[in-house]
Amino acid sequence: MTTPDDETLIRARHRMLDSIEDDARDMAPLIGRAAFAPAVMAAMGAVPRHRFVPAGQGHRAYVNRPLPIGHGQTISQPTIVALMTDLLDLAPTHRVLEIGTGCGYQTAVLARLAARVFSVETIPRLSEAAAARLDDLGIVNVILRRGDGAEGWPSEAPFDRIIVTAAPERIPPPLIDQLAPGGRMVIPLGRPWERQWLTVGGKDSAGAFTTRRNLPVAFVPLV
């Protein structure tokens, strides 16, 4: 039996999903799709976002907006998490590199859709807290590492998919090198406080890498 608090969270999560669906329809001319894949929406509905926000912010967890998580970082707006996940076009066999673990929310969503997620975070306290949350939720197909995200994770490369959750001015070359042929990368690009673009990159079977812009966004800088 669910408690009144559980029911409140369930209703809030359903409202979040409805808001994401509304955003997808509104953004369709820009993002090239009017809805996100059912598997992506199922993952968004299954991950308890309130477990990934700071203490005292649980009542805001399912509002479709970004929230501060400390150390100058944020948990991204749910619509952006869903969009970036959808753009990755994940398969259950994929090995994914995530740059910027943050609070671990995007990591948890990825973990429901891919075989293995390798996530790099430069801020020790964020990495430690994310590891504890993921462990508490029984998520076992994630490996975390503290380090410079711009260097990727060479010892585990190549990766089928790469997602970057903070914005560099240009794509770090090691990340391109670590993307497998046929792989895809989703990354925000641009300077802080200027227009940034969510960008989708792909590497063909011959190793040629190309990019296309998807949506104007605002992300914290990659540090």
Whether residue 3 has pLDDT greater than 60: no
Mean pLDDT taken over the chain: 94
Q: Give the pTM.
A: 0.95
Q: If we measure between CA atoms, which residue out of 16, 146, 153, 35 comes closest to residue 83?
A: 35
User: Which bin fits 182, alpha (ψ -120 to 50), beta or left (φ > 0)?
Assistant: left
Q: What tens digit of pLDDT does each residue of 164-174 get?
A: 999 999 999 99
How confident is the model at residue 190, as a pLDDT?
96
Please indicate whether residue 19 is annotated as part of the active site. no
Find where tokens 């504890």 sit.
132
Whether residue 138 has pLDDT greater than 80: yes
Which of 76, 119, 127, 155 is the catalytic position? 76
Instruction: Domain ranges for the chain, please list them.
Output: 4-217
Whether residue 2 has pLDDT greater than 80: no
Architecture per CATH, domain 4-217, reads as 3-Layer(aba) Sandwich (3.40)
